[in-house]
Amino acid sequence: MEKHVVVIYPHPDDESFGAAGSISKFREQGIPVTYFCGTLGEMGRNMGNPTFANREILPEIRKSELINACKVLDMDLKMLGYRDKTLEFEERSEVAAHLKELLEELEPSLVITHYPEHAVHPDHNALGAAAIEAVRLMEPEKRPVVWAQAITNDHYEVLGKPDIKNDTSDYYDKKMEAIFCHDSQASGVLSQFKHVDKLETEVQEDIKNRFSTEEFYTWNFDD
Ligand SMILES: [Zn+2]
């Protein structure tokens, strides 16, 4: 049983799409979960439809959406305060030192983050790499286990099958509820899920299947 789980992703909504089912499962077991959210996604191109947000108020909107999603998932939130789309340009060693300090305070037994170079978005790759570096810098006996999430289309071919395959089908509704908190992004990928009941049965099944498993690679620090 885990002692404390820390989730480290760069954007509001990464936690809901990436790990909401696993988070819910941990919370149901009474395990504390904390989300280290890297940015406020303030550079998001998606301003909603019709446009209701501009660059000035988007961070505030995404911040309140993030807080709501964390309430739905019943986890603590720590906003790291980096700027969206610039994480890849931050000194990795500085971000890693920052994360290491925070991790040493919480002493988690498990860290969930993106798999560097296999996470599609430069911010995902950069924060995943910094999180893994932070854990690597810790004394080996104090290191939490790291679950790295790959989301590139070819990650099965390149990395092999993930060793962690969480069946999260029991938490499907919870995951959807968390995803829907991120309403400002609703004209993008969310729109197809918003009216999921109106979609063809096949499409509904496909979405349900996709959202009923969350996969991770246990990071090997011996290499
Ligand atoms: Zn993201």
Task: Tell me the per-residue pLDDT of 19-37, one tens digit each, with 9 for 90 and over.
Answer: 999 999 999 999 999 999 9
According to the model, what pLDDT value does residue 52 have?
57
Residue 73 is classified by DSSP as T
- The Å distance, Cα 39 to ligand 1 centre, comes to 9
Q: How far is the centre of ligand 1, averaged over its atoms, from the C-alpha of 137 (Å)?
A: 25
The alpha carbon of 15 and the centre of ligand 1 are apart by a number of angstroms equal to: 8
- C-alpha of residue 37 to centroid of ligand 1, in Å: 10
pLDDT attached to residue 137:
97
Contact (CB, 8 A) for 105 and 1: no
Decide: 103 and 61 in contact? Cβ < 8 Å. no
**DSSP label at 39?**
-
Give domain 5-218's CATH number out of 3.40.50.10680, 1.10.510.10, 3.40.50.10320, 3.10.450.50. 3.40.50.10320
Compute how many other C-beta atoms are within 10 angstroms of the C-beta atom of residue 53: 16
Residue ranges of the domains in the chain? 5-218
Sign for the pseudo-dihedral over CA of 86, 91, 39, 166: positive
Half-sphere exposure in the Cβ direction for 195 (13 Å, CA): 6
* Cα–Cα distance for residue pair 207/192, rounded to 1 Å: 10
Give me the pLDDT at residue 177, please: 93
Question: What is the per-residue pLDDT across 162-207, written as a single tens digit (0 to 9) for each?
Answer: 999 999 999 999 999 999 999 887 655 666 666 777 777 887 788 8
* Residue 216 alpha carbon to ligand 1 centre in Å: 16
Say if residue 39's pLDDT is above 80. Answer: yes
Distance 59 CA to ligand 1 centre (A): 14
Neighbours of ion ligand 1 (CB under 5 A): 11, 14
Model confidence over 120-135: pLDDT tens digits?
999 999 999 999 999 9
Q: For residues 168 and 213, give the distance between their C-alpha atoms in angstroms, rounded to a whole number.
A: 5
Measured in Å, residue 141 CA sits from the centre of ligand 1 at: 31
Kindly give the pairing relationship between strand 33-37 and strand 110-114.
unpaired
Distance 11 CA to ligand 1 centre (A): 5
Tell me, rounded to whole angstroms, the distance of Cα 99 from its chain centroid: 15
147 close to 219: Cβ distance less than 8 angstroms: yes
pLDDT score of 186: 64
pLDDT of residue 190: 63
Residue 46: pLDDT over 60: no
Average pLDDT across the chain, whole number: 91
Tell me how far apart the alpha carbons of residues 116 and 101 are, in angstroms, rounded to a whole number: 21
Q: What's the 114 CA to ligand 1 centre distance in angstroms?
A: 10
